[in-house]
Structure 1
Amino acid sequence: MTIPAPLTFSDPLEHRAFLKFRLAQAYRIFGKYGYDEGVAGHITVRDPIRSDCYWVNPWGVHFKLLQPEDLLLVDHEGTIQENESGPSRFLNRAAYMIHSAVHAARPDVICAAHSHTTYAKALGVLGVPLDPITQDSCAFYEDHALYSEYRGVVSDPEEGLAIASALGSKKAVILQNHGILVATKSIESTVFFFHSLEKCCHVQMIADQAAAVRGLRPRLIDPEKAADTQRRLGSEMGGWFNGIPEFQLLEHEEGKRFEYVPAHEQNV
């Protein structure tokens, strides 16, 4: 039995339209789970036509309200592309500093997400990586990093470069005293692994607390088994397939699915 494969597109404009539709959905999913913090937090997707640009949310619009037509197309210099972008041209400087660096350093990354989620912040305060204590946390075994610096709100290119460097070739990084960042080859996989990492941080906090009460230490999964589990559960395809149900549920709740109308057929 084979699992479904991601959609492919022969028309780059249709591909762009689908990614914008999916990205807006991802923001609304994040909003549903409370992964916003005021105006903080951002998800980006690399544009399939202009690989030096990415789509991002306009600053100050609630995640639950975002639609494809609201998104901004931004290049790696932080310039908003006027002809393609939505009406609100307010760009989050921190989003530009972090995501430009990640997309530039990682040509394989299609989608990156960063936010200040509750349990990731709590675990990040400790300055420790995620331990392989559950099957789910093994998806991140030796595939996430710890950025053990906090230099204030990200407002300069050096900090974005430092975060991208800490991420390296991995799919996630815990930002000490800050939050988490996940970067993968699809929107679906980024959404899934971001949500999973937040839950794994929660479980680790609970396990550490329960162990301390009993004078114990959490039992780690054997490295060989953890590595094997990572290969099975932590792959890009595994993340994509696990992420699909979130989008299916959103489409069921909203009654809205992707439909592409070529430009020459619009307003006819």
Structure 2
Amino acid sequence: MAAILDRQPSSPAAPAPVRRSVSIYQPKQEGLIFPLEPEFSCFAEERLHRKQRLVAACRAFALEGFDYGFAGHLTVRDPEYPELYWTNPMAVHFAQVKLSNLILADHTGRVVEGAYAINRAGFVLHAAVHEAHPDIVAMCHAHTVYGTAFAALGRPLEPISQDAAAFFEDHVVILKEAGQVAVEEKAGLSVADYFKGVKAAIHQNHGLLTASRHSIEAAAFWFIALERCCRQQLMVEATGAKPILVSPERSRYSREHVGSEYIGWLHFQAIYDHLTKSQPDMFE
């Protein structure tokens, strides 16, 4: 027993001190290895961090099978020039996105850095939301199987589980422009207002969108989680039985503790760690 207690952690990184508590999941005991939110000394350092996590989010979408040709776009604001955002290149598979092929665009859709073209639909929706909501740091959208299927129902998720409760009163259903590809700028403007104070949207006959005021990691994880919840809801409904719902009070409690921006960021740290070890070409 003494040998086990005396054994040092195998991680080369020294345990960092625990910072101000923002979640019950943060350890109260100091000196334990636990993900810490980053702090930056300059814009260049923060820019690289955001770009690396954007690439990782794209790779995570590939692992989840969220690809559909060239459809799907993820964006994150530049920390120094918030009127510009980094995004994945047009017609490049999520699994092939890397630091070197990211593009930087403005709110008019003009590419200001990078060799690839921008996804027109991505520009229309994301640029409108980013411009209308300066607090939104990142957005995600992809044409997924279960999210698109559930979106055809034109209704919100029900709190059938703790996972689904994370979205309770924190997502909206958008009916405008339903089913019509968003290539006109007015289409983006018509849906931008729906993102006030929520982290996700179900666009009828289109699919899922998530937004984060915290990080691209949070936006990406909550997209993955929302797709998973849509799948679960469809599976339950396929049984023909009426599900037992989590009460509003308990749903709000769960949302507070497992549905926050911080928790989305924290969940993504495990994904990021796995990707950095298994896909080192991300940062080429």
User: What's the TM-score once normalised by structure 2's chain length?
Assistant: 0.85
Please say if 1:131 is aligned against 2:158. Answer: yes
Question: What's 1:231 paired with?
Answer: 256
Question: What's 2:187 paired with?
Answer: 159
Q: Residue type matched to 1:93 in 2?
A: R
What secondary structure does 2:152 align onto? Answer: helix
Once the two structures are superposed, the pairs formed by residues 36-55 of structure 1 within 5 Å of their partners are 36-55=67-86
Structure-1 separation of matches of 2:195 and 2:164? 17
**CA-CA distance at 1:78 after TM superposition:** 1.4
Give CA deviations for 1:104-143 in whole Å, capped at 9, x if unaligned: 1222211100111111011111111000010000000000
Match of 2:273 among 248, 254, 261: 248
Q: 5+ unaligned residues in a row in structure 2: which ranges?
A: 1-26, 29-33
Question: What's 1:204 paired with?
Answer: 233
**CA-CA distance at 1:5 after TM superposition:** 2.5
Greater Cα shift, 195-204 or 12-21: 12-21
Once the two structures are superposed, the pairs formed by residues 33-112 of structure 1 within 5 Å of their partners are 33-81=64-112, 85-88=113-116, 90-112=117-139
Equivalent residues of 1:18, 1:258 under 8 A apart: no
Match of 2:198 among 157, 170, 173: 170
Equivalent residues of 2:156, 2:173 under 8 A apart: yes
Aligned-residue identity in percent: 39
**CA-CA distance at 1:226 after TM superposition:** 0.5
Q: Residue type matched to 1:237 in 2?
A: Y
Please say if 1:120 is aligned against 2:147. Answer: yes
Question: What's 2:173 paired with?
Answer: 146
**CA-CA distance at 1:223 after TM superposition:** 0.5
Pair 1:257–1:68, CA change in 2 (3 A): closer
Structure-2 separation of matches of 1:169 and 1:102? 12
Give CA deviations for 1:49-99 in whole Å, capped at 9, x if unaligned: 101010111211111111112111111111111xxx2222x1111111011
Question: What's 2:217 paired with?
Answer: 188
What secondary structure does 1:146 align onto? Answer: strand
Q: Residue type matched to 1:71 in 2?
A: L
Q: Residue type matched to 1:35 in 2?
A: F
Equivalent residues of 2:124, 2:188 under 8 A apart: yes
Structure-2 separation of matches of 1:226 and 1:26? 27
- The size of the alignment, in residue pairs, is 251
Structure-2 separation of matches of 1:76 and 1:257? 26
Question: What's 2:44 paired with?
Answer: 13
Greater Cα shift, 101-110 or 129-138: 101-110
